[in-house]
Structure formats: structure tokens, C-alpha cells
Amino acid sequence: MSEIKVNSVVNSTGDNDSGLDLSTNDQVIIKTANTTAVTVDASQNVTLASKLATTNLGTGAVLQVVQQVLSTEKQINSASYITTGLSKAITPTSTSSKILVIVNASFDVFQNGDAGRAIFAEIKRGSTQIAEKSVDAYADQTGIGYYAIPADGSMIFLDSPSTTSATTYTVNGKVSDASNEMTLRISKSSSDSTLTLMEIAGW
């Protein structure tokens, strides 16, 4: 079997500063303009000298991710929406991009056990409501007594903001009865609630 052993392979025209650098054992380096662009090591790990341009990524690729973590307790006793404290901005790189909004809120309801009511949560983009959910909250207990009831605080929504300007998403909450018999609690005892925004290459 014939072999050609060289330390480098470069272009034959111009200033000969682009090509393969094979001078290091078990390593291949691709250079352009005498600058390392790609390195492949002995374990086939590939290292890029710079990020791939987002325009080169296919439809559905994740372009960026931002997240807010809330661990400060907030209590809501209002029949109108008020902020839970979860709010985060993202700046899309293209007007065709989608934003996947993922809410994982630590909710519980503190209420009179014989009261059958509900809590509500919404996601807003700016001042526009883009998603809403309700959760029944009923301790199924007779007599007078107050109970803490865990509630599902998860929401997922794929949004199409059609902008490259900074866009803020906010999670708000409310209760069906604003009397003293019902309170929505977020991040009770410093438990984490999160709001995650993922920019997805559009289609």
C-alpha cells in the first residue's frame, strides 16, 4: 500500500495559506487565510473556530435559549391578571423565527377546603395574550379549614412574533374568587419557577 506523507496540503495558487495542517500527530487542522477554521482530534471531536451562521442552520434548529429562574415567593389574591414575577425578553434573529415558550411554575393554592374554585395563568407577548390555562383547585374537604393544594403550573406555546426587535414574554396569574378564601402562591418556600424562551429557525 502506497502512502504520501506530508505535514501540510495547501492551495496551489495565490499565497498558499489555505489547506490542511497535518503536522501534529492524531490531529487534522483545516486552515483558511492561515487561520485555523476547524480542528479534528484523535477522538473525532470537531472544534469550530467560530459559530455557524444562523442562516446556515436548517428549519427547526434552536438558534438561542434564554431563561429566567424565579425563587422568590409571590402571592396572588386577585380576580384580574397580575404578574407572577416570571418575565423574560428575547431578540429574534429573523422575522420568520418561532419562539417556543416553556413555563414551569411552582404553583400551589391556599384555600378554604370546602370551596370549589379555579386558578388561571396566561402568557403574554408584550400586551397581547397568546396562551391561557385554568386549573381547578378543590381540596374536597367539608367544614372550615385551610389547605395547600399543589397545582399544575406548566405551559408550552409556540409563538410567531414576526419581529427582530426585543420581545418580552410575561406569565400572569389570577384566581376565580378574590375573597380571603383563596390565594395562588408561586415559588412557595423558595422553590424554583422557570420561564424558558427558545428561538427556533422558522419555516
Cell of 142: 367539608
Angle ∠(71,75,76) on CA atoms, nearest 5? 130
- Mean pLDDT is highest, among 37-41, 49-53, 156-160, for 156-160
Q: How many CA atoms lie within 13 A of 145 on its CB side?
A: 10
For the sheet containing 82-90, what is the strand order?
A: 82-90, 167-175, 117-125, 128-137
Using 50, 70 and 90 to split pLDDT, how confident is the model at 107?
confident
Is residue 191 classed as helix, strand or coil in its secondary structure? coil
Q: What is the mean pLDDT of the chain?
A: 85
137, 119 Cβ separation under 8 angstroms: yes
Q: How far apart are CA 33 and CA 15, in angstroms?
A: 9
- Whether residue 33 is predicted with pLDDT greater than 90 in this model: the reply is no
161, 92 Cβ separation under 8 angstroms: yes
Average pLDDT estimate for 46-69: 80
Give the pLDDT confidence score for residue 12 in this predicted structure. 75
What lies within 8 Å, CB to CB, of 137 at 6+ separation is 109, 111, 117, 118, 119, 149, 151, 182
In the chain, what are the domains? 8-50 (no CATH), 55-200 (2.60.120.760)
Using 50, 70 and 90 to split pLDDT, how confident is the model at 142?
low
Number of H helices, E strands in the chain: 0, 17
Average pLDDT estimate for 81-89: 95
Give the pLDDT confidence score for residue 23 in this predicted structure. 85
- Whether residue 169 is predicted with pLDDT greater than 90 in this model: the reply is yes
Kindly state the percentage of the chain with pLDDT values over 70: 87
Average pLDDT estimate for 124-133: 96
**Single-letter code of the amino acid located at 34:** N
